[in-house]
Structure 1
Amino acid sequence: MNDELRYNISSHPLLEVKAVRFETTGYCQLVDTLTEWLWSGASGGFILGAPRVGKSWAARALKNQLKLRDGRVVPVFYMSIEDRDTKTLTEIPRQACLSNELTFKSRAIASALTYQFMNRVCDEQIEAGVQTAVLIVDEFDLLTPRQFNAFATFFNRMDGEKRSLMMVFIGNKAEAFELLGKMTGPQYKRIRKRFFKRYYEFRGLTSRQELIALMRQYDTLRFPENGPTYTQAFLPEAVDSGWRLASLGKDLWRLYAEIAKDCDIESWGLEEVVNTLNLLVTDLLPTYGWEDVEDDLLREALLQPHLTDDFLTTLVNVTGKRGKSP
């Protein structure tokens, strides 16, 4: 590796957890979907998907990405619901303040927390020159039906100021359907009419073309800005000879598809894809070589990030072996 590439490679974003926001088809479709919701005046909706398909990654990357028809940027706020032994209404504005780095007294009541958070939302709307904003509520399947009343309060406060706050609830599909199934009664009609009229299912990668498009980002993104590509930082000789990570896309997808079929995986979650590609680029290919890459090496990159939920099932399906009980 020449001196130009001998910058402090330990600071490379591929070596940090979730330090890179890659653009995927799922993410672009999410931006388009939420933009359509905004333009049509929707007050809320929910986005569901399997665990670890990249919902949270995509949600956190929405800042400055949603715009009105005239190009004005809409402020986006993010909060993640935490599981609690006691689930109260106060916990919602409290978590909204925490997630957006607002300080408050430990004994602050719900009305004070709501006022503080609403002030932040209005301030950013005024700064952006808009009258709307978006609140992303991640892990909403951890809520109780009663806690949605706190979001109704947010809605009412903003409506009273002749402003709006579109609320987008993101959660795991199975758990969310269980929660939503408890909210079919007439007492939750106003919640459903405000927040549950829009629905979108978020998926991970579902085609070889999507995988190759992601791999090409490793071949084009640079760190630092005028430095080597992500691939070149760890495989300089390979890149100098004309090799690119995306050339492995066809074989990698073939092996993934075999595992996905055996283990009933509908789509390849972004977290697992990135972990697999990072492992290849930063470790396996520099160690074992990038020429004539064998299936066993690619399969190792697929399985190390725990592609499937059940390691024992993976072991049986992929290798045909079952470990003996102690």
Structure 2
Amino acid sequence: MSLQIPRPVDPSLHPLVTGNYRLATPAIEVFYELVTRCLRYRIMGALIYGPSRVGKTRAIEYVRLLLAREYPKITTYHAQCEHRPRHAEGPFFANLLEAVDDHAPNAGTSSAKRSRLSLRIREAAARSGSNAVLLFLDEAQRFNENEYEWLRDVHDVLDRQQIKLFTFLVGQEELLAQKTALQLAGKTQIVARLMVDELAFYGIRNARDVATCLNGYDQTAYPEGTPWSFTRFYVPEAFDAGYRLVSDAGQLWQTFEAAHRKASLPGNLDLPMESFVRAVEIVLKESEIKDAPGYCPEQALWSHAVQHCGYIQSRHATGRVLATA
């Protein structure tokens, strides 16, 4: 029985248990292409928008990991835009200072915070030896016109100091509406600096996308450099006998489609990463105790996983085409 087979690390530390792992998806690959295109063509700002829970926050982290590997000299930051009834300058700059690792983000006046933000970014660029710095702003639809103006001011200050700040506004579909509203209001300076390019982010849309993601579990090793892929860690006997999760891609997609239809949900299936990942984790964890040479998950287990991954529940809870946070 596979539970007796020694694993290279304590199972409680595995990324599948801690949730600390990222999967490449076709949408993430397109996101990364957008970022590298902006770098290449010196496009200083773009917006990436899509429904909630399709995996935008995880995508930012994955893109940053890829950038760290492919562009080691470029500094990247990830700020979470906060919801505030009052859009005040002090908290806005404190939030960004926290993202750029300032030791006392709340200290000083708004003006002092603004200066310190530019200084921290300039210092990071000097340390890394590149004048390009990337800032990913998550849930950016929470910004209003004032915050976009303050952000543009930061761009201008850094530009005068020969630092190129590339800003990627990531958020829900309202972001696109904000861009249109700013264009109609004649605020072209904001759009031209922060919102030049755009990308509609999406979830998992077909069996091919499912296969891409399942292949990640079959190929990604933990610990790195060992023969212990995520799939093998949970079903080593089945894996060594030739089983791969990717071979069940069509089955998993059809199971989600059947659940989508049965629940009479509107529109085509556009599967949030959150639901997909949870379904796969359920199958691997349940399979661990059944592992044997020749084992593969039964249809009943895939159905159980789809039923308990939260997809149908979250869609019903909102009454919207896709669940919102």
Taking structure 2 as the reference length, what is the TM-score of the superposition? 0.85
Deviations 1:79-132 (A, max 9, x none): 010112322122222111122331226452222222222222222222332222
Q: In 1, are the aligned partners of 2:136 and 2:170 still within 8 Å (CA)?
A: yes
CA deviations on 1:45-81 (whole Å, 9 max, x unpaired) are 11111111111111122335349xx966422111010
Residue 270 of structure 1: aligned partner? 273
1:79 aligns with 2:82: no
Indicate conservation of the 8 Å contact 1:81/1:142, yes or no.
Answer: yes
> How far apart are residue 251 of structure 1 and its match?
0.7
Give the equivalent residue in structure 1 for 2:323: none
Structure-to-structure mapping, 1:17-28, within 5 angstroms = 17=19, 19-28=20-29
Q: Match of 2:79, SS?
A: strand
Matched, 1:115 2:115: yes
Question: Residues 127 and 62 (structure 1 numbering): CA distance in 2 closer, same or farther, change over 3 Å?
Answer: farther
1:12 to 14, 30, 48: 14
Superposition CA RMSD, Å: 2.6
User: In the alignment, what sits opposite 1:144?
Assistant: 144
Aligned residue type for 1:59:
I
Q: Secondary structure at the match of 1:65?
A: helix
Q: Give the secondary-structure state (helix, strand or coil) at the position aligned to 1:78.
A: strand
Aligned counterparts, 1:270-309, within 5 A: 270-282=273-285, 284-287=286-289, 291=295, 293-308=297-312, 309=314
Q: Which amino acid aligns with 2:152?
A: A
- The question of whether the paired residues in 1 share the 8 Å contact of 2:107 and 2:113 is answered with no
TM alignment of 1:154-169, pairs within 5 A: 154-169=154-169
Equivalent residue number for residue 322 of structure 1: none
CA contact (8 A) 2:137 2:167 kept: yes
2:80 aligned partner, one-letter code: S
Give the Cα separation in 1 of the matches to 2:182 and 2:304.
Answer: 44
Partner-residue secondary structure (3-state), 2:175 = helix
Question: Against the structure 1 CA distance between its residues 310 and 201, is the aligned structure 2 distance closer, same or farther, given a 3 Å change threshold?
Answer: closer
Q: Measure, in 2, the Cα distance between the counterparts of 1:313 and 1:265.
A: 17
The worse-fitting range, judged by mean Cα deviation, of 91-100 and 290-299 is 290-299
Task: Tell me how far apart the structure 1 counterparts of residues 317 and 104 of structure 2 sit (CA, whole Å).
Answer: 47
What TM-score, normalized by structure 1, do the two folds share? 0.85
**Equivalent residue of 2:66, what SS?**
coil
Query: CA shift at 1:7, angstroms?
Result: 3.8
Q: CA deviation at 1:312?
A: 6.6
Q: 1:46 to 1:312 in 2, by over 3 A?
A: closer
C-alpha displacement of 1:221: 1.8
Kindly indicate whether the alpha-carbon contact (under 8 Å) linking 1:64 and 1:73 is maintained by their aligned counterparts in 2. no
- CA deviations over 1:140-159 (Å, ceiling 9, x no partner): 11112221111011111111
**SS at 2:89's partner residue?**
coil
Partner of 1:319: none
CA contact (8 A) 1:66 1:73 kept: no
Kindly tell me: are residues 10 and 273 of structure 1, through their superposed partners in 2, closer, same or farther at Cα, counting changes over 3 Å?
Answer: same
- Distance, in Å, in 2 between the alignment partners of 1:135 and 1:202 is 18
The whole-number CA distance in structure 2 between the counterparts of 1:6 and 1:20 is 18
For residues 32 and 310 of structure 1, the distance between their equivalents in structure 2, rounded to whole angstroms, comes to: 30
Structure 1, unpaired ranges of 5+: 315-326
Q: What is the aligned partner in structure 2 of residue 212 from structure 1?
A: 211
User: What displacement does 1:6 show?
Assistant: 6.6
State the number of aligned residues.
309
Instruction: Answer whether contact 2:94 2:106 (CA < 8 A) is retained.
Output: no
Question: Is the 1:5–1:227 Cα contact (8 Å) retained in structure 2?
Answer: no
Cα–Cα, structure 1 residues 245 and 147, in superposed 2: closer, same or farther, change >3 Å? Answer: same
What is the aligned-residue identity percentage?
A: 18
Report how far residue 12 of structure 1 moved. 0.8
Q: What is the one-letter code of the residue matched to 2:49?
A: L
Does the 8 A contact of 2:238 with 2:291 survive in 1?
Answer: no
Structure 1 distance, partners of 2:169, 2:236, is 43
Evaluate the alpha carbon distance shift between residue 12 and residue 167 of structure 1 in structure 2; reply closer, same or farther with a 3 A threshold: same
Change (3 A) 1:6 1:138: closer
Q: Distance in 2 between matches of 1:212 and 1:155?
A: 41
Matches within 5 A, 1:170-319: 170-173=170-173, 175-186=174-185, 188-225=187-224, 226=226, 228-261=228-261, 262-263=264-265, 264-282=267-285, 284-287=286-289, 291=295, 293-308=297-312, 309-311=314-316
Contact map agreement 1:65 1:73 (CA 8 A) in 2: no
The one-letter amino acid of 2:239's match is V
**In structure 2, do the counterparts of structure 1 residues 84 and 245 end up closer, same or farther at CA, with 3 Å as the change threshold?**
same
Please list the CA deviations of residues 209-257 of structure 1 after superposition, one character each: whole Å capped at 9, or x if unmatched: 2211211221222222325221122212222322222222111111112
